Amino acid sequence: MFEFRKLGRPTFRKVAGTTAVVWWLLSAVASPTAARAESNDEAQRAILFRQSLKHPQDVSLALAYADSCLKLQDYEGAIGALERVLFFAPNDGHLKAELGLLYAHLQSYELAKQYFDAAQADPALDEITRGKIAALEPTMRTAVTGNYAFAFIQAGVRYQTNAAFNPDNNILRLSNQDYTLLHPKDRGPDTNGFQTVQLGFDRDLGNQRGDTLEFRLTGYATEQSRFTDLNVSLYDVSIGPRFKLAPEWRPDWTIKPYVVGGQAFLAGSHYLTSGGAGVIADLPMRAGYLLEPGVEVRRLQFANVSVFSSLNTGYAATTSLTGSAELSPKFAATARFAWTRDAADAAYQTSSSIAEEFALVDRFSSLIPGHAETWSASPYLKLLQTSFDAPNPFVDTAVTRRDSEIQVGLVLDTPISRTFTIVSNVQFAKISSNISSYRLSNFSVLTGPAVRF
């Protein structure tokens, strides 16, 4: 059970102060530790270098030396080691793939493409490495040709045990009184069809820095079998340039300011219009590790399609930090932390929330005999704590709402070909609240075919 705490200004100051102290202590402890670790890495690299000179044909030794170079951010040293041993093993597809990945990290995409093409011609190249190469193809295509378009389109079905999001205990609190829900037709499971679309287009701005203009569109729609008043459709559009942040120092660091807007419809009626702006940065730390800090502010304008829904009108500001890591050719991990302030026109609809998301990606060979595609299973965990500023007079005049939500699930991506796949998601969600009306749980399963191109 989560502990409910008010996320007001005093708490924020305490959290910020505590975080600063902890960060200072960690830095004080970590600095000498990091120095010792770097010294050990230097010593290990020197040993491997001497060994590789004695055994220039040893591929595994060259790979170990290249890995030691990467720990010290020495990409040129790693490339040199692999290119030397490639002279003795010219048909080794894995070596060529590793060289391609290194050149791609340095944004030498034409050289990377040459090595990738040669690597994929090797029938012995494993499917996980082929999948990593395929994931880089959009970026390389943009860099080489200047423009790039992509799409993800899925249609499928979803089943939910609590489709109307009713409280688990059938208790609805209104005006300081508890009422029991007595309408079974408004409760229970439901199925719905859904469609989702993600489109993107990157255009080269034609300057020497390699800056681009990025357009993104996301659309989603559902059609319920029973609860048709919960049919949802929405779209979101953003556009903005992506600039090199420090082309001389870190050519792989970029920053993207953008404008964003969208609309949502409920049961066929207009429900929400939003618009705003944000900025996000891509900051690769080392090979396979990426940080993405971001800030976004939106104006939210709700229509009166449901009782008092327009009282949610206001602004939403979100700060976030996303991190991703390629732990190995088989495993990857992501984590996201976000703080959102929803400042509604009505004080009792104004809230602060903290979100934490964690996911692990496990790649494995297709279970279909004769298929060369790489499948993946991604278990995930999402935590959300929300604290409102004031009691809602229509619900309970004495209690300020505090919610904690947990979602656990598994996404299974099973490609049949390079463009066709089947994506499934199994999820359990539970909301705990200090007000009975908002305590609920829901189990859902969705699946459907999708195309990527």
Buried b (16+ CB within 10 A) or exposed e, 163-199: bbebbeeeeebeeeeeeeeeeeeebeebebebebebe
Residue 333: predicted pLDDT: 96
First to last CA, the chain: 43
pLDDT band at 262 (very low <50, low <70, confident <90, very high): very high
Task: Identify the bridge partners of residue 180 per DSSP, sorted by sequence position.
Answer: 171
Contacts of 319 (CB under 8 A, 6+ apart): 293, 294, 295, 338, 339
- pTM score above 0.75: no
Selection from 71-75, 100-104, 124-128 with the highest mean pLDDT: 100-104
Question: Among candidates 295, 223, 307, which has minimal Cα distance to 258?
Answer: 295
**Which range, 41-50, 185-194, 263-272, has the best average confidence (pLDDT)?**
263-272
User: What is the pLDDT of the chain when averaged over all its residues?
Assistant: 85
Q: Which CATH architecture has domain 16-134?
A: Alpha Horseshoe (1.25)
Q: Where are the domains of the chain?
A: 16-134, 147-452
| DSSP secondary structure letters along 244-268 | EEETTTEEEEEEEEEEEEEEEEETT
Asked if residue 257 has pLDDT above 50, the reply is yes
Q: For the chain, give the percent of residues with pLDDT over 90.
A: 45
Q: 263: which 2 tokens?
A: 């609309």
| Residue 9 pLDDT > 50 | no
pLDDT for 5 equals 39
Q: What is the pLDDT of residue 434?
A: 94
The superfamily CATH assigns to domain 147-452 is monomeric porin ompg (2.40.160.40)
- Asked if 416 contacts 449 with a C-beta cutoff of 8 angstroms, the reply is no
Phi, psi of 344 (to 5 degrees): -85, 165
Determine what percent of the chain falls in helix, strand and coil, rounding each to the nearest 5: 30, 45, 25
| 188: confidence class by pLDDT, cuts 50, 70, 90 | confident
Which of residues 160 and 417 earns the better pLDDT score? 160
* Residues in CB range of 284: below 8 A, 6 or more apart: 105, 252, 253, 290, 291
Q: At what angle do helices 75-86 and 9-54 cross, to 10 degrees?
A: 30
Q: Are strands 177-180 and 232-246 parallel, antiparallel or unpaired?
A: unpaired
- Give the whole-angstrom CA distance, residue 80 versus residue 174: 71
Q: Are 316 and 300 in contact (CB under 8 A)?
A: yes
User: Residue 93: which H helix or E strand, with range?
Assistant: helix 93-105
For 152-181, how does the pLDDT look when each residue is reduced to its tens digit (9 = 90+)? 999 999 999 999 888 888 788 888 888 877
pLDDT, position 307: 54
Which amino acid type is present at position 410? L
- Give the span between the Cα atoms of 59 and 115, in whole angstroms: 17
Give residue 216's pLDDT: 97
- Segment 78-100 shows an average pLDDT of 85
Check residue 82 and give its pLDDT.
85
Fold matches, 16-134 and 147-452: no
DSSP state string for 122-157: -TTS-HHHHHHHHHHHHHHHHHHHSEEEEEEEEEEE
Q: What is the pLDDT of residue 429?
A: 98
